[in-house]
Each structure stands twice: as C-alpha cells, then as structure tokens.
Amino acid sequence: MTFLQLVEGPLFYIAAAVFVLGVVYRLIGILKLGKERDYAKPNGSGFGGAIFTVLRHFVPRRTFWRGSSFHFIAGYAFHVGLFVLLLFAAPHVLFIQERILGVGWATLPRWGFILTAEVAFAGLIMLWVRRFTDPVQKLISKSGDYTTVILTFLVMLTGCLALQESHAALRATHMAFVDIWLIYFPFSGLIHTFTFFFSRAQTGATYGRRGAKL
C-alpha cells in the first residue's frame, strides 16, 4: 500500500469517524447542559427570538458596521469561499462520489476554482493578520487559534498545489493534512461551525421570551 492509498483509504476513514463522533459528542454535551427554568411570565416567543437572532446576526447592524466591516468582509470571503471549494471543486466532488456517497454533481470550472480559492485565501490571511495586529484580538487569541489557522491554511495550500495532479506526492500531502484537520476539528475552535447555531439560538430565545430582539 502506497502512502497515497493509506491517507485516502484507512487513515481517511479513521479521521472521518473521529470527526463525526467528535462533533456528535460535542453537540450532545451542549444539549445535555439544558437551561435553567424561567419562571417569569413570557412576553414573547422564545422560538421566534431564536430564529430571528440566528438569521439577523448574519449581517451586522448599521450602527456597528464601521467597527465590524473588516470581519464581515474577510469572514464571508473565507467561509463562503471554503464552503464552495469543499463542495464544488471537481477533485472533491469526484472524491465524494467515489469514496463516500456514490453520486456527484456539477463542479466549478477551473477558472471558478482559482477565483474562489483566491477569495478564500484573501479572507483567511486578512483574518490571520488581524488576529495578531489588533490589540483586542491579540489579547483574546490563544495558541490553539493560531494552530487552527495554520492547519487550515496548509490544507488549502496543499489542495491548490495538488490541483494539477502532476505528482502523487502532492495529492498525498494534501490528504495527509486533510486527515489531521478532520481529527483536530472537533477538539478545536473549528467546532464553532456547528455550535454557533446553538449559542445564537439560545441567546435569541432568552431575549425573545422577554419580548426583546437582539
């Protein structure tokens, strides 16, 4: 068995299992926390407040736009770009079809991949630089935050290098970083991909029940 076969075969499935089980474990842990019973008479809908808050905070309020525009632009550039690459890059769709689901879908053209990758890289680098140059961001950042950024950057970089499929070693290197990233995901800040829905909904439900909107 070659190294490429190892990282795309057994190691990938092990990493994927750790990813799924880790995410499920973290989410179950959050749900088991529950919430304190609110004895006050409700002045609004908790469910409506939860939905409103989750959707409303995808865009900053005009009052805070000046201070949050950088994070809004850079954050969307990175997150949307990465999401599109993960689901619509031709090599990824082929891998999903052959190794996971058995079905595929329309893929990005080559120029679309390059453009999306550039946008995602720009967003990630902007967020990275801001993290160690902004006094507040620098103060609240931990070593794990930098590890997350560096590992994600390496996954993306090796993926772009492997696009040409000119050498099996490039594809193997990319898949090795993907396996590491999948294992690291549930135990790092990357878990916010799933947990931010819960935190926003919980906050929105609390204030919605009190008749306030965030």
Residue 161, token pair as written in the block: 């290098």
- What confidence score (pLDDT) does residue 34 get? 67
pLDDT value of position 39: 66
Residue 116, domain member (yes or no): yes
- Count how many domains the chain has: 1
CATH code, domain with 127: 1.20.950.20
Domain span at 39: 3-209
Give whole-number Cα distances, 133 to 66, 136, 137, 139, in Å: 18, 9, 8, 10
**Residue 74 within any structural domain of the chain:** yes
pTM of structure: 0.86
3-42 tens-digit pLDDT: 988 999 899 999 999 999 999 999 998 878 766 676 667 7
Radius of gyration of the chain (CA): 20
In a domain, 127, yes or no: yes
Tokens 């632009």 map to which residue?
73
200 found inside a domain: yes
Model confidence pLDDT, tens digit, residues 195-213: 888 888 878 777 777 776 6
**What is the rounded CA–CA span in Å between residue 201 and residue 51?**
7
Q: Angle at the Cα of 192 (from 76 to 117), degrees rounded to 5?
A: 35
**What gap in Å lies between CA 29 and CA 24, rounded to an integer?**
8
Q: CA-CA distances (angstroms) from residue 97 to 87, 102, 107, 169, 182?
A: 11, 4, 12, 22, 19
Asked whether the predicted pLDDT for residue 182 surpasses 80, the reply is: yes
Residue 99 included in any domain: yes
Q: Are 81 and 117 in contact (CB under 8 A)?
A: yes
List, for residues 115-129, the tens digit of each pLDDT value: 999 999 999 999 999
Tokens of 31: 């749900």
Predicted local distance difference test score (pLDDT) of residue 138:
85
User: In this structure, what token pair is assigned to residue 76?
Assistant: 């969307």
Q: What element of type H or E holds 93?
A: helix 90-99
Asked if residue 28 belongs to a domain, the reply is: yes
214 occurs within a structural domain = no
% of the chain at pLDDT higher than 90: 45
What is the signed CA dihedral for 137, 140, 146, 152, rounded to 10 degrees? -70
Determine, yes or no, domain membership for 205.
yes
Q: Write out pLDDT tens, residues 66-92.
A: 778 888 899 999 999 999 999 999 989
In tens, the pLDDT along 43-55 reads 777 777 778 777 7
Distance CA 181, CA 124 (A): 16
